[in-house]
Each structure stands twice: as structure tokens, then as C-alpha cells.
Structure 1
Amino acid sequence: MGKVIMIMVDGLRYDTACMQMGYLHHLVEKNLAARFLVKTELPAVSRPMYEVLLTGTAPYVSGITSNDIVRLSKQKSIFHLAREKGLKTAAAAYYFISQLYNHVPYDIVGDREQKDEDNAIQFGKFYFDDSYPDSHLMIDGEILRSAYDPDFLLIHPMGMDYVGHLFGPDSKAYRKQAIELDRWFARFVPGWMENDYHIVITADHGMNSDGLHQGISPDERHVPLFTISSAFQPGCYREEVPQLAIAPMVCKLLNLEPAGEMSTYDISEGLERGTQNPI
């Protein structure tokens, strides 16, 4: 059984990841990582897509169909499945994640730091400001990893989404944010690789040229998936992968039986490697 670090980058477009994240593509070029093109579910907004990524169920099933639906998830998430098998769980994430899988309402003081082994997310650092720096968030995740040695760790930076809404995804600021985040990956990923983690890096949604997202355009729905794991053959894969396949994929890496409503699509099988060109 392996341990998994899952990084869910909020608002990262596929093309931006392909063009700006040089460290991750260094790993792909050196046959140490795989890159996939993921097509998100709809609507391409945060809370519903968090539920897709962490429970493997579509919004019409989960009932989490907008950011305005604030309640606990009714599905079994990766956190729940891991805890039921005696695994440790942790998250450094936006407060929506605490609301979905630990409890509501979110208290900005009481819920900022959480440690309760009865929770689905047993150890957590949950921020509430969209402008919370990705650098701080990445360090929050590493603190959780070092302190508690979780089997499943979610790290959820918001900087791409925040900058994209302010300046648009075609801006220097958005591209710079991707470069800066890639720099933090370059700082921490080598150590995680040395410790044999399965590393999964993806996004909840992309963003259109207006700095918005909820629609059906490829800019909003196409997001990256990088896997750094012996479970995947390295290289670039151009065939679209459904976003619903990511949660059961993580379950497989953790040696967990997926929940009954999760997709049965297996990302590690049946795809042919395509060109190594950036986009």
C-alpha cells in the first residue's frame, strides 16, 4: 500500500500548465511522470468539482450543484474511505473542504486548525481568504505531512483562481502564478518522491478569457493531471480523461475499495501515449 499526496490546484487551465510548469514537464521528459488531459464535469465551479474529485460522483448525484449549497457531503469521500480502513487523513485546503467533509458552519477561529481523529479529515489547516498565498499553503501541507505522516494528504492552493479572476487567464499575472507554483513543486516534490509517495496533481476547473468559469468551453473544462507514481507509465497522454475517474484512481493507489457510486474508468489502463509537445 502506498501513500498519496493529491494537489488540487484551483482554477488551473490545461494549456497554462502545459506551457508554464517547466519542473513538472522536466519530470515528464525524463520519464518520471505522466501528463493527462482531463475534462471536468459541469458546472465548472469549485464546490461541485471538489465533490467530483474527492467522491467520484457527478453533481446530479451528489446534489452539490453550485457554490451556494453549503452542507456536508452525503457521499463517501476518499477521506471517509481511508479513515474507515484505519488510514490517516489530512488536508491543507480552502474552507469549502472542511464544510464538505468535516462540519458546517465553518468557524474562522475554531476551524482554522483541526485535529480530531473522528473526523473524515483528521488533521487539517483550512484557510478562508481567497488571496491566501500558495507559498504558505504549500508549507501548511508539508507541516501536516511531517507532523502526522498521513496516508492521504490533500493540498489545495487557490492562487491561480484568485489571480485569474482579477486579471484573466491570458495575463502575465496568471502565467507568473503558474510559474511560482511550479517552483514550489520543485522544492517539495523531490523529497516526496524519495519517500515513495504517489503524487497526483490536478485542478478543479479552468477559466475563460473573461476570468470566469461555469460554462462548457474547453478553456473552462480542460485541466491537467500529472501523476508521479510507479503505477503509471510516464509520458504525455492526449486522450481526454473524465474527471470522475480521479477519485477511484486515488482509491486504487491507497488500496481502498472505491465507493459504490464511483466511476469504474481506470486511468492506468487503455490509454496510448501521444506526443510530448506542450499542448
Structure 2
Amino acid sequence: MNDKVILVVLDGLNLKVAQDCLGYLNGLVEHKKASQYSLYSELPSLSRPLYECILTGVTPIESGIVHNNVTRRSLFESIFSLAQAQGKTTAAAAYHWVSELYNRSPYDPIRDRHTHNESLSIQHGVFYHWDHYPDEALVLDGEYLRQEFDPDFLLVHSMNIDDTGHKFGLDSAEYRNCARHADIILSNFLPTWIEEGYQILVTSDHGMNNDKSHGGTLVEEREVPLYLIGDRFSHSDISIQQTELCGLVCELLGLLHHKPFVEEALT
């Protein structure tokens, strides 16, 4: 079975803050329209290494993307490369590091900010290079890509929660309210995506600490949410690893792959 998949990554979102502040997403869980799991990020709990982990299923220690300043293309098969090679359409509205990992590195904003190239792993992209790029604009970029190009796999990756955490820290009204705001933005689009039959994953790469940073082993830096929305998910009481998200998406897309995934997560 081949489904269309939307993966939403809310960068820097801590699990407890998600459980406390994402009213719409948790409402879907409460009304049995979604399931929520907790994931532990791989180490180091940094953004670029964990984009690679989520999208390839390879840990940072194995991938060599071990900090945010490793600027090169991925050496591993990703959801994007597997889908593109097997005739699927791919798209991403995401931070420019995603473009560097799977399309072209280094990122050239004039060349790469708006990408439409069938030969690339991410065929259609709207990339940004400002940490404060508004989440409203980012999700609109994703919806534009969805409506204009009808991708089989769409990544929507926002940065405002992480940016606010670096400015104010985990235990701050600003950080919590930024998470609430992201939830409101998603509530404007998720009902349509659900109605149109997409399989949707909402997660984060890493959390945040009170030092206004992340990268280490603290629970608040590593524990992140995973919301699964769609009729292909079993919504069972299971354990899922961050390295298994790539394989889960590949299964939903009907791709030939060798990525790890939890069979019990799917119907």
C-alpha cells in the first residue's frame, strides 16, 4: 500500500512542553484521532545530526554528522533519495541545513532557496536560513508545495520553538507560548491534511534545557514527542526509536528499503 506522508518537525520541542501546551494535537489524542509517543533523541542532541538521523535512520555516531558545523551532503540513503529514485515526488519546506544534507552543499540562497529540480533528492523545496523565519510563513510554504506539486513525501520543518528556547530557556513563558503558537498554526492545516487522507507524523529533533541550549544527555534535552495521525497507524502501545522514523515513513510510502522500523506501529 502506498500512502502520502507529511512529516512535521518542530525543532527544539521538549516532550513535557508538548504535552502541556499543544492543545490541538493533544485534543486529537484525547478524541482517539491521533496517538502520542515519547522518543529519546540520539546523541549528540543537536539539530543537523538529528535531521540526518530522522531522515536516514542512521545515528550521528555512524553518520559522521556529529555537530551543526559539519557542512556536507549525507552519505546515506534518505527518505528523499529513496523516494526520488523510486518514482515518487518529494518536497520540503525546511531549514537550509536540510538542503545541504540532501540536495547541494554549501547552500546558496539565490540558487537553493526556491528549488524545483526533478533530478534532486528534494525535488521541490522552499528553504530558509533565518532561525526567526516565522512559523506561519513556513507552514504556508509547506502548504504551497503540497497544493502545487502534490508530493508523496513532504517535510515541514519549523525553527521558532528552538530559536525561542535559545533566547529564553526551557522554563520560560516565551518558550511555552511559542509551542502553543505552533500548535495553533498547525490546527489551521491539519484538518485538511487528515480529511485528504495523509499519514502525518509530528515530532522534534531534540528538546531544550534551562541553559538555553541542548546537545547533551539531560532528559529535557533528549525527550521529544511523536504524534501519529492517520488510518495506517495501529495507535498501539509500543516503543519507537528515533532511528525507526525513517523506516516507518518508507513503509508508508511503499518504498523498497532496508531501514529499521516497528512493524507493530502500522496496520
TM-score bucket of the superposed structures, by smaller chain: over 0.9
For structure 2, list consecutive stretches of 5 or more residues without a partner in the other structure: none
State the secondary structure of the residue aligned to 1:241: coil
Q: Which residue of 2 aligns with 1:227?
A: 228
Q: How far apart are the structure 2 equivalents of 1:89 and 1:130?
A: 23
* Number of equivalenced pairs: 266
Q: Please report how far the alpha carbon of residue 240 of structure 1 lies from its aligned counterpart in structure 2 after TM superposition.
A: 4.9
Q: How far apart are the structure 2 equivalents of 1:246 and 1:76?
A: 14
Q: Please report how far the alpha carbon of residue 111 of structure 1 lies from its aligned counterpart in structure 2 after TM superposition.
A: 1.1
Runs of 4+ in 1 over 3 A off after TM superposition: 264-267
Q: Please report how far the alpha carbon of residue 264 of structure 1 lies from its aligned counterpart in structure 2 after TM superposition.
A: 4.2
1:80-123 CA distance string (max 9 Å, x none): 01011100000000000000000011112221100000000000
Q: How far apart are the structure 1 equivalents of 2:61 and 2:14?
A: 24
Q: Please report how far the alpha carbon of residue 265 of structure 1 lies from its aligned counterpart in structure 2 after TM superposition.
A: 3.8
For structure 1, list consecutive stretches of 5 or more residues without a partner in the other structure: 270-279
Q: TM-score, structure 2 length as denominator?
A: 0.96
1:150 corresponds to 2:151? yes
Q: Which residue of 1 aligns with 2:195?
A: 194
Q: Which residue of 2 aligns with 1:263?
A: 260
Q: Please report how far the alpha carbon of residue 168 of structure 1 lies from its aligned counterpart in structure 2 after TM superposition.
A: 0.6
**What is the identity, as a one-letter code, of the residue corresponding to 1:31?**
K
1:241 corresponds to 2:240? yes
CA contact (8 A) 1:245 1:266 kept: no
Q: Please report how far the alpha carbon of residue 55 of structure 1 lies from its aligned counterpart in structure 2 after TM superposition.
A: 0.2
State the secondary structure of the residue aligned to 1:156: strand
Q: Which residue of 2 aligns with 1:276?
A: none
Aligned residues with identical type, % of pairs: 44
CA contact (8 A) 2:246 2:261 kept: no
The within-5 A match list for 1:133-212 is 133-212=134-213
The within-5 A match list for 1:1-279 is 1-234=2-235, 237=237, 240-258=239-257, 260=258, 262-266=259-263, 268=265
Q: TM-score, structure 1 length as denominator?
A: 0.92
Q: Once superposed, what is the RMSD of the aligned Cα atoms?
A: 1.5
